[in-house]
Amino acid sequence: MTTSRSTATGSATVIAAGQRARRGTPLLPNGGSSPTAPAVPGAARAEEAGTGIVESTRRGGRALALTFDDGPNPTDTPRLLGVLRRHRVKAVFCLWGDHVREHPELVRAIVAGGHTLGNHTMHHEDLASWAPERIRADLAAANALIQQAAPGAPIPYFRAPYGSWGQSAEVASGLGMQPLGWRLAVGDWEPPDTGELVRRIEEGITPGSVVLLHDGGGDRSRTIAAVDRIVPELRAQGWRFELPARSG
């Protein structure tokens, strides 16, 4: 299985909002104008997406949004879907185009489970130095594969690999996708044991957090076990599970 580059480095420290998973630099786009071409199929209406990078849920209070990157993964994505179904939680799945091509049936399973899709580029490359035209072609190709797998499914979010945005936030917004960051990166790419992942979530969440986890890019069995444990614990503490905001 192809391993996400985010597994190559990274510390055991929980990474908070406004930071990149590998380098600790701000999650800010480098500027540049949005493309004027029409949005690609599957994206939400362009006027619904802002260029700001969303890191919070739609409503405040004790709410968090679970988001999963780098799938679909034929071993762990179905197991994760089962856990989320059992706990009645809806999440965002940011899909890697190469993996969508290999496992389109899992994209359909994600949609059938009532979850929300995000574009995570075709090949999980660092976009920091890319020109807008190149970014747009990559995002359009990934959206086309997602649409081929699940015709008509909306793709309202885009997340840049490694949180390395370059000019991709503006491009994604022009395609109708809201740039999606995170307030809490749990660091499950290493991977630590399940208990450590649970601890990081418990100690790291704040009201309205978008939480970054992974269902692809490696063995995610510990992540799935941690989600299975943490959801009922947080619900018992009065936390709600919601989707991220749609404007930034």
- Distance spanning both ends of the chain, measured CA to CA: 35
Q: Which of 69, 138, 215, 228 is catalytic?
A: 69
C-beta neighbour count of 34 within 10 angstroms: 18
CB atoms within 10 A of CB 121: 24
Alpha carbon distance 220, 199 (integer Å): 17
Q: What angle do CA 235, 14, 157 make, to 5 degrees?
A: 70
Query: 99 catalytic, yes or no?
Result: no
Q: Out of 99, 120, 214, 215, which one is annotated catalytic?
A: 214
Cα dihedral across residues 238, 241, 247, 248: positive or negative: positive
| Phi, psi dihedrals of residue 31, rounded to the nearest 5° | 100, -170
**Is residue 193 annotated as a catalytic residue, yes or no?**
no
Please list the active-site residues: 69, 214
